[in-house]
Amino acid sequence: MPGRSRWHFKKYFQRKGQPSKGRRFSWPLENGLIMKSYVRSIILTGYGTNCEMETAHACRLGGSDVVDIVHISELLCGSRRLDDYDFLNLPGGFLDGDDLGAAKAGANRIIHATVKSTGERLLDQFLRFIRRGKLVLGVCNGFQLMVKLGLLPAFDGDYTRQWATLTYNESGRFEDRWVYLKINPDSHCLFTRGMKGIYLPVRHGEGKFLPADGIVMERLHGRGQVVMQYSDREYENIISSYPENPNGSVDSVAGICNETGRLFGLMPHPEAYLNRVKHPRWTREPVPEEGMGVKLFSNAVEFIRREKQAE
């Protein structure tokens, strides 16, 4: 497909700040050069997920070259594999109707189900993906899934032990509101680099972050794994009271990462704020054209691309 290759060839040199005009490469070399830096994103859907389209759009805006929405049944039958992707997105929704608790049934499926074509556990695909240093983002229900699988916080690289949960909001009701989030500058998180704070909506009934005990919370803080906390609108002070902390999370935690910063989960929805018209006050105050949520995805894609080019 020469036309497609030429377009990506041009974009490659634009990203590097170099002119593409006048360069002469054979198509095979050119294709290899571009394909090496391709970023392939997968958005997992099915059984109650409802934010896959917005998440796919966010990946495209973030610069991902390939964006596939894949039903979990496609992984289970073997027609798709996580091995073929660089960036796994676990979007929001209500997996299995939140039966057994938010994302618990979904976690059990991944732990116990096997791939029809190979017989391997689906969990083994997840663990292989992670151990190869690839990136995972879980939003809302996806964050709940990661925590209940044990993918977060994954102390000492143990991705199968659950150290915390996300449970019912202290308000006793579903919360649909916008929140200010202070970003920890000492966090290892790759997704939030260069960011002081972010303004995003929450939409959940079970968003209260609850660690197993105080020691878990101390380890999260001590190891730079607390990424986001509910705050004031200046992103200066952490606020524990309602409604700024909409769910009663311990230490106002809104998002955490693993020790490498390559796995990140948060309750607020970055894919819900991708352009100015999604801001709740866009008709009443100046708002940048690009929504704040795009930065999380572009940071991820740029990190993956740099790693690929360095190989």
* Phi and psi angles of residue 91, each rounded to the nearest 5 degrees, phi first: -80, 175
- H or E element in which residue 174 lies: none
Structural tokens at position 191: 């997704």
Q: Is 271 an annotated catalytic residue?
A: yes
Residues listed for the chain: 311
> Is the bond preceding residue 243 a cis peptide, omega within 30 degrees?
yes
Catalytic residue among 52, 175, 206, 271: 271
As beta bridge partners, residue 177 has: 202
Catalytic residue among 140, 188, 189, 257: 140
Q: Is 269 an annotated catalytic residue?
A: yes
Structural tokens at position 70: 């894949």
Q: Is 257 an annotated catalytic residue?
A: no
**Closest by Cα among 286, 306, 305, 307 to 59:** 305
CA distance linking residue 198 with residue 71, whole number of Å: 30
Catalytic residue among 30, 59, 175, 269: 269
Which residues fall within 8 angstroms of residue 77, CB to CB, at 6 or more apart?
A: 115, 116, 117
Q: Chain centroid to CA 161: how far? A: 20
Catalytic residue positions? 140, 269, 271
